[in-house]
């Protein structure tokens, strides 16, 4: 019993020591997700370096963070605007920017990557960083649809590589899916769980399988709604109303598709190919994943009817109707 207690205490101490070690975070990609991740990490006292490809993008990104922090401060310090301004300045002080990822990671504890959803680009980035980051540095990807183990394969730190899948908008959404590959060490996984908790998020543990938990359930659900409509079993309006009033969902599947972006949904199912290879060619040639920008879920599991592409979705994407962001998707937006 005493042994168990001693072990337990040792585990707690080592986990606390490990989480205390994540003080300096490098966030790569200052877009929608990276800016949000940098914001919450800085707001919880971490020293954050935000990296992107140009000064101009980084200026827009930090301006976005400042705007978001001001909105938080307005609510949090409604009666004390001066304290609100101090809060904003204090958090912004924790963020610096850099256009050179390799120099940014030289003394960092954790790298969180949130760049373009493209396997080869992510592999190139991590392959470069692996050579310059300290040994203890943990690498994590925020990818929504790529296998973490494929991204990690360009590095020699497979045990210190995992997934940290945040949700949009990051400052608001509580969930983080922490992804453990077959090679991620327990120590790394624990550190990522602990880091998520320190950010004020609720981590859940996921295996490195397509879509982890949330998207693995959500994407087939949205695709099935399109197929139901394609078969003439219901109008998109009726399907949306049915799921809101019958299942209690805050949005119907077509509203959700428009919100997520039809291109994003198509991309997850269909992927994107280099060298002009079609799905069939890629699968029959059994090309290595590194020869393909991104293998969609359909190509990964061609027999799975849940991952079958949709003609209607493809048509809307080809017409540039990508959802809310372009003013039209399944619905029109003013
Ligand atoms: N948008 C979402 O709802 C969402 C949710 C969860 C996860 N994700 C994932 O997060 C990642 C980023 O998505 P996003 O929506 O923030 O994309 P985004 O397009 O808004 O931002 C990507 C940023 O990465 C930068 N970038 C591209 N290549 C780079 C490189 N080599 N080095 C440094 N910066 C680089 C781009 O300039 C851009 O600013 C993707 O992997 C995506 O799958 C997105």
32 and 120 together in one domain: yes
Q: Which of 210, 219, 232, 105 minimizes the C-alpha distance to 147?
A: 210
180 and 288 together in one domain: no
Domain-embedded: residue 333: no
Give the other-Cβ count within 10 Å of 77's Cβ: 16
pLDDT of residue 275: 38
Domain boundary among 175, 207, 239: 207
Domain-embedded: residue 274: yes
154 and 265 together in one domain: no
Give the other-Cβ count within 10 Å of 303's Cβ: 7
CATH number, domain of 197, equals 3.40.50.720
For the chain, give the mean pLDDT.
89
Give the other-Cβ count within 10 Å of 10's Cβ: 10
Is it the case that residue 51 has pLDDT exceeding 60?
Answer: yes
In three state form, how does the secondary structure of the chain look? CHHHHHHHHHHHHHHHHHHHHCCEEEEECCCHHHHHHHHHHHHCCCEEEEECCCHHHHHHHHHHHHHHHHHHHHHHCCCCHHHHHHHHHHHHHCEEEECCHHHHCCCCCEEEECCCCCHHHHHHHHHHHHHHCCCCCEEEECCCCCCHHHHHCCCCCHHHEEEEEECCCCCCCCEEEEEECCCCCHHHHHHHHHHHHHCCCEEEEEECCCCCCHHHHHHHHHHHHHHHHHCCCCCHHHHHHHHHHHHCCCCCHHHHHHHHCHHHHHHHHHEECCCCCCHHHHHHCCCCHHHCCEECHHHHCCCCHHHCCCHHHHHHHHCCCCEHHHCECCCECC
pLDDT tens digits along 268-277: 898 764 434 4
Domain boundary among 187, 207, 227: 207
Q: What tokens were used for 182?
A: 């077959």
Domain-embedded: residue 329: no
Query: Is 144 known to be catalytic?
Result: yes
pLDDT of residue 272: 65
Residue position matching structure tokens 């966030």: 27
* Whether the CB of 121 sits within 6 Å of ligand 1: yes
32 and 175 together in one domain: yes
pLDDT tens digits along 14-28: 444 444 479 999 999
27 and 82 together in one domain: yes
CATH number, domain of 221, equals 1.10.1040.10
* Whether the CB of 116 sits within 6 Å of ligand 1: yes
Query: Is 168 known to be catalytic?
Result: no
* Whether the CB of 142 sits within 6 Å of ligand 1: yes
Is it the case that residue 279 has pLDDT exceeding 50?
Answer: no
Query: Is 215 known to be catalytic?
Result: yes
52 in Cβ contact with 58 (< 8 Å): yes
113 and 248 together in one domain: no
196 and 224 together in one domain: no
Domains of the chain: total: 2
Domain-embedded: residue 267: yes
91 and 229 together in one domain: no
252 and 198 together in one domain: no
236 and 182 together in one domain: no
Residue bearing the bigger pLDDT, 30 or 263? 30
Mean pLDDT of 305-326: 94
Domain-embedded: residue 60: yes
Mean pLDDT of 114-121: 90
86 and 59 together in one domain: yes
Q: What residue's CA is closest to ligand 1, atom 12?
A: 114
pLDDT tens digits along 82-104: 999 999 999 999 999 999 999 99
Domain boundary among 156, 178, 207: 207
159 and 281 together in one domain: no
* Whether the CB of 102 sits within 6 Å of ligand 1: no
Which of 113, 117, 177, 255 is an active site residue?
177
Cα of 245 to ligand 1 centre, how many Å?
A: 34
Is it the case that residue 189 has pLDDT exceeding 60?
Answer: yes
pLDDT tens digits along 205-252: 999 998 899 999 999 999 999 999 999 999 999 999 999 999 999 999
Domain that holds residue 291: 215-323
Which of 19, 141, 142, 144 is an active site residue?
144
Cα of 79 to ligand 1 centre, how many Å?
A: 36
Query: Is 177 known to be catalytic?
Result: yes
Q: What residue's CA is closest to ligand 1, atom 11?
A: 114
Half-sphere exposure of 258 (CA within 13 A, CB side): 18
In degrees rounded to 5, what are phi and psi of residue 40?
-70, -35
């Amino acid at each position: 019993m005493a042994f168990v207690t001693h072990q337990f205490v040792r585990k707690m101490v080592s986990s606390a020591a490990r989480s205390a070690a994540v003080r300096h975070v490098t966030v790569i990609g200052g877009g929608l997700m990276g800016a949000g991740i940098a914001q919450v990490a800085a707001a919880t006292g971490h020293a954050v370096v935000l990296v992107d490809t140009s000064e101009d993008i980084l200026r827009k990104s930090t301006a976005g963070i400042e705007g978001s922090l001001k909105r938080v401060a307005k609510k949090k310090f409604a009666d004390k605007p001066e304290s609100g301004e101090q809060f904003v300045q204090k958090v912004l002080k924790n963020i610096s920017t850099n256009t050179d990822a390799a120099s940014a990671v030289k003394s960092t504890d954790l790298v969180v990557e949130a760049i373009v959803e493209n396997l080869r680009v992510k592999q190139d980035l991590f392959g470069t960083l692996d050579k310059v980051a300290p040994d203890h540095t943990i690498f994590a990807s925020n990818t929504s649809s790529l296998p973490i183990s494929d991204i990690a394969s360009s590095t020699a730190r497979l045990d210190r590589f995992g997934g940290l899948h945040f949700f949009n908008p990051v400052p608001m959404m509580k969930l983080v899916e922490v992804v453990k590959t077959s090679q991620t060490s327990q120590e790394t996984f624990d550190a990522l769980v602990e880091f998520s908790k320190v950010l004020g998020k609720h981590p859940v543990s996921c295996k490195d399988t397509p879509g982890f938990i949330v998207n693995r359930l959500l994407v087939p659900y949205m695709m099935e709604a399109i197929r139901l409509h394609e078969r003439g079993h219901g109008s998109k309006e009726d399907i949306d109303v049915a799921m809101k009033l019958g299942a209690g969902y805050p949005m119907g599947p077509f509203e959700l598709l428009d919100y997520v972006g039809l291109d994003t949904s198509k991309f997850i199912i269909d992927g994107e190919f280099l060298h002009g290879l079609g799905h069939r060619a890629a699968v029959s040639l059994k090309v290595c994943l590194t020869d393909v920008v991104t293998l969609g879920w359909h190509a990964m599991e061609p027999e799975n009817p849940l991952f079958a592409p949709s003609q209607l979705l493809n048509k809307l994407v080809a017409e540039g109707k990508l959802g809310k962001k372009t003013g039209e998707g399944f619905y029109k937006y003013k």
